[in-house]
Amino acid sequence: MGRVLWTRSVYSRLTMRTDSLFYRLFQRLPRLLFELVGQASDHADSYRFTSEEIKETAFRLDGVFVPPESQPTWPLFFIEVQFQRDSTFYSRFFAEIFLYLRQQQPRHPWQAVVMYPTRVIDPGMHPHYEALLSSSQVQRIYLNEWAASRQTLLQRVVGLVLATPDQTGGEARAVIAQARQESVDKAKTQSILELVETIVAYKLKGLSRKEIQAMLEFPDTELKQTRFYQDVFAEGEAAIILRLLQRRCGALPPALTARVTGLSIADLEALGDALLEFQSLSDIEHWLEGQARERK
């Protein structure tokens, strides 16, 4: 199998889109987490899934599954979707977890779950964190291996996220077919169909509504119009861009956050490419000013 070489800009766009997609997946299908970690999903709907910012730092956890306060023995799950190779990842991730525990003082035990697209992205064991990485409290999941059999509906959904553009149509139709076959209730079926539509729209942005409709072979689906594309893409990508900017440049003042949030999809993608070179808040401001001058 040939090696795939990724540029930093491709990594940036891939990270933005997959982070946002998995955030939506966990919100809509919380049992996905429990299937990933091999635990019973009976209580999945009782958990609250959030993205948590660590106060007084530039840290933000990708996701936290918070159990009810009435169930102190249920674990608190820290979730990270890591699609970019980063040799310092575990230093940041465990720092975020322990800062959260110090600030929030939760009653519950905790578990950490890191999801990689493949083993190649995992930076591997680190002498500072070997005990944690070898413990039952930390699970590393390689999504391509986990979803390889495509036996369950959730494996098919993850397979769709990982699919190449050429594979996307077939993977999407397989998800829809299995959702119908399993005869889940109407609301859940509709939720899965909306997720499929969202994933396809994220992955194949050049396709029109009619082209996606034809690809899915589901003419009755209510694919979102232009407002859907703008709202979903801009909201999701702006959130990820802000998190990446905070990691590189520190906490953003409200005015700067508002300017980034108000950018178009095209500008957000361009900012995702550019931010890898940023060192300070002034770099963000200069970039925004440059974009404003170009539009005049």
- pLDDT per residue as tens digits for the range 123-169: 999 999 999 999 999 999 999 999 999 999 999 999 999 999 899 99
Do 133 and 154 lie in one domain? The reply is no
Q: Which of 223, 241, 275 is where one domain is finished?
A: 223
Do 69 and 120 lie in one domain? The reply is yes
Residue 38 domain boundaries:
1-146
Do 254 and 282 lie in one domain? The reply is yes
Do 70 and 131 lie in one domain? The reply is yes
* 226 vs 248 pLDDT, higher one: 248
pLDDT in tens, 5-58: 333 333 344 454 577 778 888 888 899 999 999 999 899 999 988 877 766 555
Do 21 and 111 lie in one domain? The reply is yes
Do 135 and 92 lie in one domain? The reply is yes
Number of structural domains (the chain) is 3
* Whether the model pTM is above 0.75: no
Do 51 and 91 lie in one domain? The reply is yes
Phi-psi region of 217 (alpha: psi -120 to 50; beta: other; left: phi over 0): left
Residue ranges of the alpha helices (H) in the chain? Answer: 8-28, 31-36, 89-104, 130-133, 143-146, 153-162, 165-181, 186-203, 209-216, 226-249, 254-261, 265-274, 281-295
Do 45 and 161 lie in one domain? The reply is no
Do 90 and 190 lie in one domain? The reply is no
Do 213 and 240 lie in one domain? The reply is no
Do 158 and 75 lie in one domain? The reply is no
The sheet carrying 138-142 orders its strands as 48-53, 60-66, 76-81, 110-116, 138-142
